[in-house]
A and B are shown apart, each in its own frame.
Chain A
Amino acid sequence: MADMTEKATKKGRVVVKIEMCKGCNLCIEYCKRKVLRSSEELNSMGYHPAEPDEQMQCNACMLCALVCPELAIEVYDE
């Protein structure tokens, strides 16, 4: 997994693969910046997938991807 130290000032972005997420909400639980939240929508499996909240600023710390059991989260940084 990526190095966890240089996370403070960095800009990041997460993409949740809607059809792979099972709405376990672990990423939401552990994201320190509350970037992720549960979507109102349902995916084809009938789960509320996680989705990034555009107002919140992700710093690509990778915690969400670390705890995701489904490899449903892609983390991007500069």
Chain B
Amino acid sequence: MKLKNKWPKYYKKDVVTHYCPGCGHGIVHRLVAELMEELDVGKRAICVNPAGCAVLAYKYFDIDMLESAHGRGTAMATGIKRARPDLFVFTYQGDGDLSAIGTAETIHSANRGEHISVIFINNAVYGMTGGQMAPTTLLGMKTTTTPSGRNPGYDGYPLHITDVVATFPGVIYAERVAVDGPAGIQKTKRAIRNAFQTQIDGLGYSIVEVLSACPTNWKMTPAQSFKWITEVMTTEFPLGVLADRRKKG
């Protein structure tokens, strides 16, 4: 019998993650590590990881990492890429990190068309801090800071930051995908591959928003969380390519 899925080269061997059972981070981490190998950029990659659940991502990715202050990841990535354009630079951020405190950094790094890739994990809550409302919390969704459900009159509306930056000419590739089952995971990997390839080809800025499960704070089982993404979350955050300015041929 031959092992079909060998351990990804750029993923630290047999490290048990701190993520909750069924958390989408673990899956996206694996996809990123696989792509580092398949696209052969692991040697020159620097990932900027956020403050949030993925703050410990450097315990798992076996590439050089720089941990950012909450929300500042795309600014740090700008500094890295501008200082060393030869490096492969990507941020890995949560919805609070990227679209709450880091909104300005997110919008302006995209608008400058920085040659970085952004992986945006949207699980509609602040995970690490215990399930508070995030900018992407759905209407009516209960969180620890919207105990009776998100009320637009009081808490505003789910923020579609990726759609916003997708309108910028400097954004070469933007897609929203979902880790909500095998097919979704395959599409997520393809989307991140396209984003990474955009940077490799020197075309400019790319971003992939990944709808991702947070069973603990959603108070669902992992399987229910996947279904909830498919059936509910995608109604608010429809999947698809939001911008593709890659020159063909």
Contacts and interface: CB of A to CB of B under 8 A. Distances in A.
- Indicate whether A and B interact: yes
A26 B23 CA distance: 10
A12 B2 CA distance: 9
Given A29-B223, A60-B4, A75-B3, A66 B19 contact: no
A16 interface: no
A2 interface: yes
Nearest to A71: B30
Interface residues of B, number: 32
Contacts of A1: 5, 34, 186, 189
A37 interface: no
Contacts of A67: 27, 181-182, 185
A47 B2 contact: no
A8 B182 CA distance: 18
Contacts of A75: 3-5
Given A20-B14, A26-B222, A29-B223, A70 B4 contact: no
Given A17-B14, A67-B185, A78 B30 contact: no
The 7 closest A-B pairs by CB, nearest first: A69-B26, A24-B22, A76-B1, A22-B21, A24-B21, A24-B222, A29-B223
Interface of A: 1-2, 12-13, 17, 19-20, 22-26, 29-30, 45, 47, 60, 62-63, 65-71, 73-78
Given A17-B14, A25-B222, A66-B182, 20 more contacts: A1-B34, A2-B4, A12-B1, A20-B16, A24-B21, A24-B22, A24-B222, A25-B22, A26-B226, A29-B222, A30-B182, A45-B16, A62-B4, A69-B17, A69-B22, A69-B24, A69-B25, A69-B30, A71-B7, A71-B30
